[in-house]
Homo-oligomer: A and B are copies of this chain.
Amino acid sequence: MSNSEIPSYRTKKPSRYSRHPRPGYNNRAMVWMEKDGELYVSGGRAALLQHIAELGSIAAAARQMGLAYRNAWLWVESMNRLAPSPLVRKNTGGVNGGRTELTDEGHKALKAYNELNRRVQRMLREE
């Protein structure tokens, strides 16, 4: 997934109806995963995980997305709390010391969200 495919939060007014407007009638869907009724992984959170995996830092990922660092941090905290085991981990020593990265569980959750979202979006396109 290249950066250009990851949705940006820099849009002035993030209306979900006009971020990617297309002419004519279109069926749209927004997909997310919940744990016990709480938001677990959404499109924005999946994009954040993807950026963290690529950039090795929550701050850099937030900057790239035009997202406040505080919000990025809260999203990560929430995902880590709701997941069977944390999705994002900060390495404290060794070769990758100081680098924040996705755990195996993190890669798994990102892949699961992307596959689910792709299946739903493909279904809408095939209408």
Contact = CB atoms under 8 A, between A and B. Distances in A.
Interface string A92-127: 000000000000000000000000100110011001
Interface stretch (A3-11, A33-41, A46-54, A65-73): A33-41
B36 A17 contact: no
Interface in A44-84: none
B37 A21 contact: yes
Q: Which of A20, A22, A32 counts the most B-chain CB atoms under 10 A from its CB?
A: A32
A33 B28 contact: yes
Contacts of A24: 35-36
A29 B127 contact: no
A127 to B, nearest CB: 7
B26 A29 contact: no
A1 interface: no
Nearest to A83: B25
Given A123-B119, A123-B120, A127-B116, A18 B38 contact: yes
A2 interface: no
Contact of A17 (B21, B34, B127): B34
Interface of A: 17-18, 20-40, 116, 119-120, 123-124, 127
